[in-house]
Amino acid sequence: LPGFPSDNEERFFWLLEKIVRREGIGDVLANGVYWAARKIGKGAEAYDHNTIKKHEQIPIKLGVLNPIYYLMWATGEKINITQIEGQIPQAPFATREEREEFVKDWVQVPKEEFKEFVLNWEPRSLPYYPTIEATCGIHELA
């Protein structure tokens, strides 16, 4: 690519600038991984393995199973979890006290089982909690 920097940090900002201005390769990348892979072709589709509903799947990048996050992405009608993200933690709180403080005035949840779920979710439980069964159970509570 003409003008592509050799330093990784400079490359990041160079690509970001191209994406923001939709210039050259930035115009292709601005549409997201799914569409960029198809536009680029030549086997680029093989690298599109982290998308749900044609959008980047962030949970894959976390390196641990996060069924709640996956569920929000997979079942969200708008592929936008921002309205959910503030209501359900994306990771466990470090201490029992923090978890209790979070659920104390948690008026948005329809059932007490949600509170119990968060209270029992500890950092050391990753990647085994929440279990798939617990996640499906939470989805059924909503």
**Length of the chain counted residue by residue:** 142
- Whether residue 70 sits in one domain with residue 32: no
- Whether residue 45 sits in one domain with residue 69: no
- Whether residue 31 sits in one domain with residue 80: no
Give the residue numbers spanning the domain of 120: 58-141
Q: Cα–Cα distance between 102 and 7 in angstroms, integer? A: 42
pLDDT tens readout for residues 75-123? 665 555 554 555 777 778 999 999 999 888 887 776 787 788 889 888 8
CB atoms near residue 131 (< 10 Å): 12
Q: Cα–Cα distance between 12 and 113 in angstroms, integer? A: 43
Q: Which residue has the higher pLDDT, 64 or 39?
A: 39
CB atoms near residue 33 (< 10 Å): 19
Q: Which residue has the higher pLDDT, 63 or 100?
A: 100
Residue 2 domain-assigned (yes or no): no
pLDDT at 26 over 80: yes
- Whether residue 25 sits in one domain with residue 88: no
- Whether residue 95 sits in one domain with residue 71: yes
Residue 30 domain-assigned (yes or no): yes
Q: Model pTM?
A: 0.45
- Whether residue 123 sits in one domain with residue 63: yes
24, two tokens: 């050259």
- Whether residue 70 sits in one domain with residue 14: no
- Whether residue 89 sits in one domain with residue 41: no
98, two tokens: 């923090």
Number of domains in the chain: 2
Residue 48, C-beta contacts closer than 8 angstroms, at least 6 positions apart? 33, 34, 37, 38
- Whether residue 39 sits in one domain with residue 88: no
Strand partners, 56: 51
